[in-house]
Structures are given as structure tokens and as C-alpha cells.
Structure 1
């Protein structure tokens, strides 16, 4: 609030001096705010005139202004003693008398009588609307003083008696009426402004209090949100750790189940054994697919899904997918075929693992919901650019189809084509959701055309970069053609799970590979110190010394041959963090459990020649 001196203090009154500090309330003490400074000011003016008339040797006027100065100095003291109204009336009376005396001394030319207007204003400023009668008395005193002054001035003017009376009464009447109306109107306006100011300031206080309460609530909500966010982060971390642990724990025995099933299928089983082995293989792969779906769905929700950008052969990828579903299709009597449009580059750059996952989901669904007829995979070109190509993968089946009203909802989480689908065919209902999200996250899309009872066609569009060089792929192809490349390879297997040891031994023996088995990282390190190996298959989670530490120790050996021995990690945790840690520990590659025999054989091919 402004602290500047104001003669009339109108600004302080209008704004409600010290209202926010609750020192003064508008209207109640406003008159005192005017009385004090005006009294002291008029006392100072009286002293100035006292000095002037003393010098001029005017004894009567000197004593008059001395008495005026003393009166103006005593008026505030009188008001403080509780005689506030009397003090205000005395201030107005002494001001009016002073104006009359000065006007009489200096005459009409000095226009001293003009000060009667602010004298009337004092009455309005010092008396509020509850003291209207005192205000009017104060104004009346100023007007009466003006009448007295009028006689003094006008008697000095030479006019006829009738003309003098007419002018005098006209001027006085007009002055009285005008002054009365002006000052009363101003008084009402002032009081209204005071009241509105008071109301506004009260509202401001109420709004400030309400704002303060809301700020307190907001701070409380923010604190609660921070706590909830922290709890959510802990919950998310716990969920991720739980899924990773469950994935590892389930994948480890699944490695043995699928591995042994694969070996049994290659051992020329009897006719009565074929069906149970196929059922075992199908059930194992279905269970593994469900685990992968839940894990991928969790990673996509958490925004942790990432994509590779590596070279791969399209023909080989499609061939592997067809081969993996060949037995399932044969058992159901369904024709499984594929067609790749001519002119499509064979070597592309993208994420072959995610493309395989999408196609596996769709081909698996097609076979699941088809009892007769065929399932066909077609690959065609949508757009061919200088350094990229956009392909459309169409998976067509002659199965049960999808109800028209449910076509738009089948890509939603945990949703299947009909209410009976889950009961009849099983599944989590996540496969299509994950496929759609994986396609869209790579800048592609997925759509479906279906007619109930006539089959379905799922179409995926994805863009891949064209490979600039096919040398490495051609070398791999050439090496794969030589099936004797890994014959005689000497492999060190570090695996603590006895069942998985037996599964791995059976596979390696079939490939004519010489091998040594150890139970932990310490034993692997000692075995390598005593003998040379072409490749090390290293499990990651083992007692005494895990695969990470063992690999780090191997990379520190003095013997350069032993130090540079290729290490392939065997992991049941299919997470990006695990892969990064594998490479950081000095390992060359990894195979995910349950391992695909073709994939493992390919890895051994890659590191057979050093």
C-alpha cells in the first residue's frame, strides 16, 4: 500500500488503507485519516500567516492566526481523547473562519473565497454515511461563511440596491444549490466506491484463502502422485523381474522337452509312437508360444521392445517357418504352401526375429482354425524404392473364418474371434495383438479379410532396406551346404542342468562333434587351460562361477588361442539386457533356450573355422 502523503487522503480511503493488514477498516476510521494531516497542514499555514502579519505589525491578525495554529494543533489531541465529532466540527469551523478573515483582508481580487469548496469537501471526507447530519452541518457552516463573505465583498461594488440584491441572491442561491448537489452526489459516489472496494477486497481475501486451500490440496495430491509413481515403478520392476524369472525357469525344462522330442522324431519312431511324439512336440511349442506372448506383451506395454537391423535371407526365413509347421499341417491333413513373388530381393535388412514371430503367430492361428483345405503364405511387393522395398505378407486359410461384427475387435488384447473359440482352441488371445503392435512399431500395418465359414486372409505390410552386399550371406550359404564343416569340431559344454547336458550331448553326437562337459564356470576355465577347444557353449546361470564371470576370465588368459576361443552363450532369458551383458562379458554369440537345432547348428557352422 502506498505510504505517500496526501492532503485529503482520498486515495487511501478509496483503496482502503491497511485493509489487507487488518489495521484499519474502510469508512470506520476514514475521517481520522483526513483529520490528522489536514489539521497539521492548516496549523503550518496559520504559522506562516502569523509570521507574515507579525512582520507587518498587524497585532490583531497576528494573535488571530496564533490562536488558529494552536487550535489546529490541539484538534487531533481532542479527537484522540474521544471527542472525534467535536474535533471534526471545530476543524471545519476554524477553516471557514480563516477563509473569511483572509478574504476580508485581501479583498475579492485574491479569490480567497474559492477555498470554501475544499472546506465543504472536508465535511464529506470526515463524516461517513452514518453521520450525514454532521456532514450537512459542516457544509452549512461553509455556506454561511460564504454568505458573510459575500456581504463584505459585494458592498464594495457600486450597484443599484435592487440590482445588487438580485445578483447577490441569484449567485448565492445558485452557489448553495450547486454546492449542495455536487457535494452530496460526490459523497454518495465516494461511499459507494468505498463499499465496492471493501466488497472486492473481502472477495480477494476469500479467493486467496480458497486458493491457499487448493494449493495445499494440490501439494497433497502431488505428494500422493509421487508416492503412487514410486510404487508403480517398484511394481513394474517387480513384474519385469518376475516375468524374466518365470521365463527362465520355464524355458529351462522346455529346452529338454522340445530337444528330446526333436531327437525322438529323428529316431525313426514306430507308427504307434508318431502321434504321441507329435502331440508332445505341438503342446511344448504351444506352451513356449504362450510364454513368449506374455513376455512380449509385458515388454510392449512397458515400452521396452526394441528391434534389430541386420541382414537376413527372405527365402530361408520363409522356408524355416514352413518347415517348422510342416508336421502340424501334415497331422491335420492340411496343405501348407508358400509363394514368393519374383523380383523381390532375397537379402534384406530388418529384424528377422520379429518378422518370424509375426508370421509364426499368423500361420499358427491359420492352422489352428483350419480343419481341412490349405494354409498359404504369399509374399508380394507393395512398393519398390532405390534402397528399400515394402512387402506384403498374406496368410490365407480355408478355416472357420471370423464373424463380421468381431472382425474389428480381434486385434484387441485377450480377444478371440468368438465366445467358443477359447474353449475349443485355447490360447491367450495375445498373438494377434502382439503381431499388430510389432508391425506398427516397425512402421507397418496389419489387416484382415474374412467371411464366416469361408476362411480368413491376414495381410502384413512392412518396409525393409535392401542389402548392399551379399558376400557374407553367400559365405554362410556355402558353409551350410558343406554338412561336414562341423564334423570333428571340439566343443566345451558348460551346463549345470543334468537333463540339458544329456539333450545337448545327444545333438552334438549326431553331428559327430567331440565334446567335453563341465558343471560350472570354474571347471570350464580349468578345462580350457588344460586343452584347446574350437567352440565353448556357455550356460549363464551356474553355481560357483556363472557364465559371465567365466567368459571374462577366459578373455584374460595369456595364451592367445585359448583367449580368443569363440564362446556361444546358452540362455533361457530372451531379454535385451541379457544379450547386452553377454556381449559385454566377451562372448561372441548366444542361443536362446529352448534352442532350435537348426539355429544351434548354424551358430557352430559360423565359428567352425578360425
Structure 2
């Protein structure tokens, strides 16, 4: 059974209560409080003590307080039995009673309550829950509490916080004086009486030498166990005192700092965060509004920030300056805020980097939160940092320096974010390089790389030169990359070496690709040169044969000049041979102009329907010779457009001519013209398909013919038009209209050319006007025209004279450009209708003569039409002639119908 101590000074009630408790407990009876305390000292195994108030001698409250102040009995249950009604139940519980029972009461209730208290004590002891009922309310507070007799200074009670503050262990302090227990003194302390006597709030700030602590003490007078007592509440403010003194010192330093002139500050702002107002604002001469003291901080945000900071950073700055953010930062212990930004001034046209810092501290006097904002010029520092960072990000893997004396390496910038933790820290060079080489460098090159990057080697290499470089092959993301490691003298006197690592893989690959392209281009140029050489050799032979034919036929005609039949046959052979030579030369000139970009594409009105009709008419004799048939199909929506009719005719004639030769007699050639959607609404996209299902030619031969200046030897089954350049010319002309020419070999012996071209659309009104103009040109009367011709070749003069005279045109002939200019200058207005100039004349050539005519004071100088003619198609072209002030260009040899059409055209346009 559990032992129970019953302390009761009443003999009659003692036996009654004992008889009730004997049912469940081993009851030990004490006649008074002193005897009860003695029994507890000798029998610490007692589980519960029952105190029957009132007690005689040592009263009940003193006995209770003494039991509870002894740490040996802190887990023992204590029950107070009060006779009748009592007003001090709360006091009993406060001092340490587990329960208060009022008598008389039912014996079972008395036993049940005591049993419940014992059970609760056992549960609390098992769970070791100090915050429960095992500790009284005063023990759980952080404030040190002492209860002292106001008369004799006896210490009734101290809580745990007080024992901890004073550095004293919990012990039985009953009957001890407070000054002896707390401070080890032999006389009463003055601070209790001083605090009560001299402060209105009964508080004082005192220093306790024994604990070396400063406390804030509050003294209250109250009754404790029926006696007048002091209740002392002490709060340790030692750290607060130190913090206050430090804050006061810093605050005064900050005030002194902002009051003196500091050239590092670009601006200064002092704010009361508690009230949200500006205390002082000094822009230091920077052209921004000044916020007067007492105005809200929001005025600074609304009126100053927009004048110096862009929108995005302004929003971030305003968020940092918000009262809520500054208060929260201070509460979280963050007393320093900072932001970097680009600062500008519209007035001074200045853009620079600035840093604004905020120092948060409380005013020790008022306790209000204050913010000191300073703005510094960090432009030079940030520009250097950004330059290094950009260089590291785009050009370098690593930027570092090596100290040859301490044999350390320190990295300042690199382009891998995961390695940022290694920045600005020194590491042993040899170990760092070994780790790098062992982890990244190719296994077969590690030994050599390690040797090349040893400090001794670096130091030796940099003795006589400033740069030493090593190419390293590493594995990066599963690929082999090449890095150039450069060591450069940074401070030779103190052994400082600059280190940079840059990835040169792409550079080396680009250089290799360029070398490969150059080799390929060289091979292509050599092939082109070989092809042109072969072509010129072959075509020279072809032209030589034709010239021999001309000479032979001329000899035959001379031998029997009276034989008209023989002479006509000879002349026909001569004409055929010369036309063959002219066609070869013209094709060579056309292809040369296409290759060097000097081919001139005229802008002439065209109609798709008329063009197809003329095409069929033009090639009809060619197809009739082999009894072939051309089937034309078209599906176009826009029939009018602008193009060069002669170029279109040449392109289509070359394709059909080749297709005709590749197709056997009685074969069928199909031509299809249809329109495709155009990406440009002002242009029309035509596709011209030419197809033969019986073509006898292989794909390789056709593709070779589409190369410039390709010449295929004659052979059995071989085909070729006069020069062999027809397909190459057609391909180049199609490209001139942003198009293409492709060849397709159909199953078995089929062949198809697909040509795509893009023409500028012509509207209907322009078509009507052009049609009227064509009718006018066709019906124009040439009879009676007066023309000035400048030509030094007698044969050309004879041809021109005969041609012009046949149309009733009168012409004056001069042999050089100077005479042509003088002849025109001295003529009457309206005498000459047209001038024809050979571009290559003695004394003054055609170009200069045309410029002299345009610059003279003759009334027709600016308006008279001038036609240029030349046999040098390499140096002369229509574009060059137009730039010199001429209206048109015609190549030699001159064909009569072409010259007459050109005369009509220029006169009509004039």
C-alpha cells in the first residue's frame, strides 16, 4: 500500500480522517507541521501528504510552502483539507496544493479525490511532462519570482527562473533570509525598499554583481500566507541593455556619417519607417526632385524614382522601399537591404550603374524604426564585372589567375552556373589541375597534358614570352571538345599569371569546313576551267570548219562566176555557215552575260495566249522537218504580264529544239502551261512543262548539257544543237525570273522539262494601252525619215544604206563620233529623226559622242533617239548604253527586220 502522511493538530478529526484513509493507504500521523516535516525528511518514500487546515504551531501555508520548495518532494501529491468554507483556495493551489477538499463531506468523496490526485501524480511522473501539474504556475513562467517576508526578509518561495538567473541550485530555503540566499550578504538589500520608495510603477533597473546581470525589477506588496510580503518580479535585460547601448552608438555614428560630406554618396535619404515619412533628403546635386521632411515616403517613390530608373527596376526598387517590406525585413533580423540598377538623367544625358543601400535601425530614444538610404556610384566596378561576365559567358569557359609563388589558382569567372561555388576561392594549383585532367581530358592524352600544364613548364615558357598556350581535348556531354588553355604574364615581378580557357571546337570545325569548301570550290573552278578550255577548243574547231566552208564556197563561186546556179548554191552554203558561227557566238555571249549578271531583262507587255500562238508558229518548220506534232495545253487565270519577249522566245525555243532532236520522227511533244499560287500578289507563277514519251537520250547527258560551257563530242546517237549551250542558257534565263529548270527522265524512254518562272502582273488598262501602241508601231510609216549614221566599217555602211533606202529612209553617214556630234550640232531643229552610233569609232567613240550630243545646246539634244550598235558583246550591253544617254542597243551583225522594228520602237517611245 502507498504511504500517506496525515498532518492534523485536531485530535477528534484526526481519527475520523485516518479511519477513512486506512482503507487504501498506509497512514502515518503527525501532530503538527514541524513533526510532519521531520517525518518527510526521514521517510522520502511517502507518496501523498494530507494537510488538515488550520494547523497549530507552524501554520498550514508555511508547511505547504516548505514541502513544495523542497525538490525531494516535487513529485509527491499534496492535498489540503479545509474545515468549512475558505476564501484562500486559489492561494493554496498557487503555492502547490494538488487539490483542496472542504469538510464535512462524504468519506467516499474524500477518498476518491485523494486517490485521483495520487493517480494523476503517477501519470505525470511517467510522462515526465514538466509543463503539467507537476510544476506550479509560477515555475513555468520565464520571469524570475521571489516571495519575501516584508518584515523579517525571510524567503518564502523562488521559482525556477529565479534560481537559474541567480545561478543557485534548488534547495530548501525555508527560514533563510533573501539577501543571504540571493546575494550571500549579511544585511538586507536596498533595492527592494528603494524600488518601492522612489518609483511610481514600483520598478527599477538594477545590477546584480553576484550574477553579473542587469535586471528590471518590479516589486508588489501582497499578503502571503497571512503575512505582509514582497513579490519581486525580475526580468533579465542584460543583453537588451548591451543591444541598446550598441544601437545607440551605431545610431549616433550613422547620424554623424550622413551629416558629413562624403563624395562617395550620389544621394541620401533618411526615413521614419514607423510613421512612413521622410526625415531628410539630399540628392547631392543630382537633377531630381527633392522631397521635403514630413512628406510620405510614397512621394519619393512616385516623383524621384521615375526620373532616374527604368520601369522594371523602378518596380523592384519601390517594392524594397515599401513600409511593409522594411518592417518585415527588420523583424526577420535583416537590417541591410541593397539593389543595383542603371541610373539615368534626361537632363545631363547620363546613364550609369548605381547601388542603393538601406540600413535599418531603431532610434534608441523613441523606439521608432529608421531607414538610412545611400546611393553610390558603382559604374566602373559594374562595367568591369559585366565585361568579364559577358566574356566568360560567350567567349571563355574559365577566367582565373595563378600565383606561381604560392602555387595556387583562383577563379574569377566561368560559364557553368553549377561551379559558381568555387569562384573567388584559392585552391592548390597542382591538385586542381590533376583533378581537372583526370576527370575531363581524354585518357590517352592525360600524361602529356599534365606535363604541359605543370607550373615549372609554365614558368619556363613565360620567361621569354608573354603567352603560352596548350590545346586540350576533353569529354564534355559525351562529345570530344577542344579547349585552348592560355597562360599569360599578369604580373611577372610577383609571379602572377592570367589563365583563360576557351572552347575552340566550333572554330576549328569551321576552319576545317572552310578549307574543305575551298578545296571543293577550287576543284569546281578547275573543272569549270577545264570545261571552258575544252569547249573553246571544240567550238573553235567547229567554227574553223564553218569558215573553211565559207572560203571553199567562195572559191567555187569565183571559178565559175557565170554559173548562176553554182553561185547561188555557194552563197546559200556561205549564209548557212556564217549563221551557224553567229549562233555559236550569240549563245556564248548570252551565257557569259548570264554568268556575270549583266543579262538585261526588258519589261515588255506580254499576253500568254498570243505568246503560245507565236511559239507554235515559230517552231512549226522545225517540227515539220521530222513530221512531229506539238500538243499545247494551258490553264492560266492571269494572261497578261511583263517580261522580255525575246528572252522567253529563246528559252522556249531552246527547250523545244532539244526535245525535237531527242524525239524520233512522227513523235508527239506535249507542252503544258498552267498557273500555280504565287506568294506575291503582284506576280504570277507559271509552270511550263515540256514532255516527250519517246525521247532517245540518257539523263547523264542531259544534266551535263545543263552545265555552263559543256561540250559533248559528236557520236553515234549523240545529239546537240548548234553550240550545245541551249539548255544551260534556258536554265540561266529561268533563274533570271526567280525560277528554275529541272529535267525528269520518265519510265522507259520518256523525258520532261519542268520550268518555273515568276512574272510581274500587268493590269487590263495597261494591256489596252499596250495593244494600241503595238497597232501604232505596226502601222508606222518609215518613208521620209532622216537618220544620222556613224559607222567606220564600209561593209556595215553598205548594208545599212541598202536596208534603209529600201524603206524610203534618208541617211547621212560619218566615220567617227566627233563628226557625228558636229553634224548634229550644226543641223536645224527637226532635221534628224534618229541617230545610230557604232560604239567603237575612231577619235571619239560612241559613248563619248552620245554624252556630247546630250550635253550640247541643240533643241533636240535631250530628246532625239539614239541607237547604239556593237559587235563586242562582252564589253558592251544595253544597260551600259542607257547609262550613257542612249535609248536602245542592237548587236552586230545587224539583221534588217530587227533593226527596223527597233527604229519603230524607239521613235514610238520618243
TM value normalised by structure 1: 0.51
The equivalent of 2:283 in structure 1 is none
Cα 1:417/1:498, change in 2 over 3 Å: closer
> For 1:291, which of 585, 593, 605 is the aligned residue?
585
> For 1:524, which of 798, 811, 820 is the aligned residue?
820
Partner deviation per Cα, 1:492-550 (whole Å, 9 max, x = no partner): 11111111222222222222212122211122123223442111111111111111111
The equivalent of 2:833 in structure 1 is 534
Segment drifting more, 543-552 vs 435-444? 435-444
Question: How does 1:487-566 map onto structure 2 within 5 Å?
Answer: 487-531=783-827, 532-561=831-860, 563-566=862-865
1:583 paired to 2:882: yes
Partner deviation per Cα, 1:200-240 (whole Å, 9 max, x = no partner): 2367658559999xxxxx9xx99xx9xx99xx9xx99xx9x
Cα 1:494/1:329, change in 2 over 3 Å: farther
Separation in 1, partners of 2:571, 2:583: 18
Q: Is the 8 A contact 2:866 2:886 kept in 1?
A: yes
Q: CA deviation at 1:364?
A: 3.0
> For 1:403, which of 676, 681, 698 is the aligned residue?
698
Q: CA deviation at 1:566?
A: 0.8
Q: Is the 8 A contact 2:835 2:866 kept in 1?
A: yes
Segment drifting more, 336-345 vs 523-532? 336-345
- Higher Cα Rg: structure 1 or 2? 2
Q: CA deviation at 1:556?
A: 2.2
Separation in 2, partners of 1:452, 1:420: 23
The equivalent of 1:435 in structure 2 is 730
Relative contact order, higher structure (CA 8 A, sep 6+)? 1
The equivalent of 1:600 in structure 2 is 899
Separation in 2, partners of 1:514, 1:374: 50
Q: CA deviation at 1:558?
A: 2.0
Separation in 2, partners of 1:418, 1:272: 30
> For 1:200, which of 453, 472, 479 is the aligned residue?
453
Segment drifting more, 533-542 vs 565-574? 565-574
Question: How does 1:447-466 map onto structure 2 within 5 Å?
Answer: 447-448=742-743, 456-466=751-761
Cα 1:569/1:584, change in 2 over 3 Å: same
Partner deviation per Cα, 1:411-438 (whole Å, 9 max, x = no partner): 345265996455x656554322332243
Segment drifting more, 563-572 vs 523-532? 523-532
Separation in 2, partners of 1:602, 1:321: 19
Q: Is the 8 A contact 1:450 1:457 kept in 2?
A: yes
The equivalent of 2:641 in structure 1 is 348
Greater fraction of residues in helix: 1
Separation in 2, partners of 1:5, 1:459: 76
Segment drifting more, 444-453 vs 545-554? 444-453
Cα 1:316/1:4, change in 2 over 3 Å: closer
Greater fraction of residues in strand: 2
Separation in 1, partners of 2:806, 2:694: 39
> For 1:361, which of 634, 651, 654 is the aligned residue?
654
Matched residue SS, 2:885 = coil
Matched residue SS, 2:653 = helix
Q: Is the 8 A contact 1:538 1:570 kept in 2?
A: yes
Q: CA deviation at 1:394?
A: 4.0
Matched residue SS, 1:470 = helix
For this pair of structures, how many residues does the alignment match? 391
Q: Is the 8 A contact 1:402 1:417 kept in 2?
A: no
Partner deviation per Cα, 1:119-178 (whole Å, 9 max, x = no partner): xxxxxxxxxxxxxxxxxxxxxxxxxxxxxxxxxxxxxxxxxxxxxxxxxxxxxxxxxxxx
Cα 1:327/1:489, change in 2 over 3 Å: farther
Separation in 2, partners of 1:473, 1:355: 18
> For 1:569, which of 851, 862, 868 is the aligned residue?
868
Separation in 2, partners of 1:282, 1:368: 19
Q: Is the 8 A contact 2:632 2:672 kept in 1?
A: yes
Partner deviation per Cα, 1:92-143 (whole Å, 9 max, x = no partner): xxxxxxxxxxxxxxxxxxxxxxxxxxxxxxxxxxxxxxxxxxxxxxxxxxxx
The equivalent of 1:162 in structure 2 is none
Gaps of 5+ in 2: 1-400, 411-447, 462-467, 473-483, 486-510, 551-563
> For 2:775, which of 453, 471, 478 is the aligned residue?
478
Partner deviation per Cα, 1:285-304 (whole Å, 9 max, x = no partner): 44333334434444555566
Partner deviation per Cα, 1:48-97 (whole Å, 9 max, x = no partner): xxxxxxxxxxxxxxxxxxxxxxxxxxxxxxxxxxxxxxxxxxxxxxxxxx
Cα 1:443/1:282, change in 2 over 3 Å: farther
Cα 1:419/1:544, change in 2 over 3 Å: same
Q: CA deviation at 1:588?
A: 1.4
The equivalent of 2:315 in structure 1 is none
Separation in 2, partners of 1:360, 1:323: 11
Partner deviation per Cα, 1:225-282 (whole Å, 9 max, x = no partner): 9xx99xx9xx99xx9xxx9xx99xx9xx99xx9xxxxxxxxxxxx9888876665555
Q: Is the 8 A contact 1:297 1:434 kept in 2?
A: yes
The equivalent of 2:479 in structure 1 is none
Q: Is the 8 A contact 1:366 1:375 kept in 2?
A: no
Partner deviation per Cα, 1:7-36 (whole Å, 9 max, x = no partner): xxxx37x99xxxxxxxxxxxxxxxxxxxxx
Matched residue SS, 2:801 = helix
Q: Is the 8 A contact 1:403 1:452 kept in 2?
A: no
The equivalent of 2:683 in structure 1 is 388
Cα 1:280/1:289, change in 2 over 3 Å: same
Cα 1:489/1:207, change in 2 over 3 Å: same
Cα 1:537/1:336, change in 2 over 3 Å: farther
Q: Is the 8 A contact 1:400 1:453 kept in 2?
A: no
1:444 paired to 2:739: yes
Q: Is the 8 A contact 1:520 1:542 kept in 2?
A: yes
The equivalent of 1:312 in structure 2 is 606
Question: How does 1:48-59 map onto structure 2 within 5 Å?
Answer: none
The equivalent of 1:46 in structure 2 is none
Cα 1:509/1:421, change in 2 over 3 Å: farther
Q: CA deviation at 1:598?
A: 3.5
Gaps of 5+ in 1: 16-194, 213-217, 258-269
